[in-house]
């Protein structure tokens, strides 16, 4: 690809899943622009301006040569289909390809819903409410976490830990876009649950942080902390 041939714009919401797309673009060595959107300081919601790009007003969204693509997994597949012509970040056959597809979808389909639920339950006791309601709300949120979220999250983290016990990345010895997709929920998990019993996951997170393309993405997309 000739320099300047790429017209990609990332509509990047601070502290969001869109950081993965910036990382992927760095890994693909593509030219791109970033338009950053700030969250509401009180609600952490995305600004209304994002709805001008996509009706749901969510991030990530990219535009490329007149096309608009939303959803992390869909964006990843689009970028690889169009620009990863050597299939460097996506296995092409065998178990590695099946693993790639599994983890690409597992990140948002299985792991992130539990982490979002956990975040919501953690915020409930801290939310403004009448004093006589707070003990009830705290009790309910605690029970939901204890009886529903935590057991299911533990099963998933145990599975991830076992998967990473005999490989460096999720599809083997080479970084793939599935690792980029999995990075956000595992970074989020590290802020919402104790990972001391998961050394392989902790090592994966450190490998992610050590990647030059990841560090470049942080510089381009701004400081990043999971909510």
pLDDT tens digits, one per residue of 44-63: 888 899 999 999 989 999 99
Mean pLDDT of the chain: 90
175 shares its domain with 69: no
Establish if 70 belongs to a structural domain.
Answer: yes
Instruction: Give the angle 9-14-17 at the CA atoms, nearest 5°.
Output: 75
Distances (CA, A) of 221 to 38, 172, 194, 213: 12, 28, 27, 12
Q: Residue range 76-87: average pLDDT?
A: 95
Establish if 16 belongs to a structural domain.
Answer: yes
Lowest mean pLDDT among 8-12, 70-74, 123-127, 213-217: 123-127
68 shares its domain with 99: no
Which three-class secondary structure state does DSSP give residue 222? coil
Q: How many domains does the chain have?
A: 2
Q: Are 180 and 219 in contact (CB under 8 A)?
A: no
99 shares its domain with 80: no
Establish if 217 belongs to a structural domain.
Answer: no
Per-residue pLDDT for 6 more than 60?
no
* pTM summary value: 0.89
Supply the range of the domain harboring residue 186.
94-211
77 shares its domain with 126: no
Tens digits of residue pLDDT in 162-183: 999 999 999 999 999 999 999 9
Q: What are phi and psi of 168, to 5 degrees?
A: -80, -45
112 shares its domain with 71: no
List of residues 6+ apart from 155 with CB closer than 8 A: none
Distances (CA, A) of 33 to 12, 21, 71, 205, 213: 10, 12, 18, 26, 16
Which three-class secondary structure state does DSSP give residue 9? strand
157 shares its domain with 81: no
Closest CA to 225 of 148, 119, 113, 126: 119
CATH assignment at residue 34: 3.40.30.10
Establish if 98 belongs to a structural domain.
Answer: yes
113 shares its domain with 173: yes
């Amino acid at each position: 690809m000739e320099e300047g041939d790429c017209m990609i714009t990332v509509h990047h919401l601070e502290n969001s899943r869109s950081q993965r797309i910036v990382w992927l673009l760095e890994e693909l060595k593509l030219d791109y622009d970033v338009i950053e959107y700030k969250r509401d300081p009180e609600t952490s919601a995305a600004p209304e301006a994002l709805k001008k790009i996509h009706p749901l007003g969510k991030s990530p969204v990219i535009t490329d040569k007149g096309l608009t693509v939303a959803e992390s997994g869909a964006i990843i597949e689009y970028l690889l289909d169009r620009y990863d012509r050597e299939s460097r970040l996506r296995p092409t056959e065998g178990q590695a390809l099946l693993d790639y597809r599994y983890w690409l979808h597992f990140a948002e389909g299985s792991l992130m819903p539990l982490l979002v639920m956990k975040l919501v339950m953690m915020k409930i006791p801290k939310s403004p409410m009448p004093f006589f309601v707070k003990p009830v709300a705290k009790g309910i949120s605690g029970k939901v976490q204890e009886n529903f979220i935590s057991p299911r999250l533990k099963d998933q983290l145990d599975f991830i830990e076992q998967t990473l016990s005999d490989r460096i990345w999720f599809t083997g010895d080479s970084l793939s876009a599935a690792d980029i997709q999995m990075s956000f929920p595992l970074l989020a998990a590290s802020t919402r649950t104790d990972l001391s019993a998961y050394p392989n996951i902790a090592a994966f997170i450190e490998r992610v942080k050590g990647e030059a393309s990841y560090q470049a993405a942080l510089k381009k997309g701004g400081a990043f902390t999971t909510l």
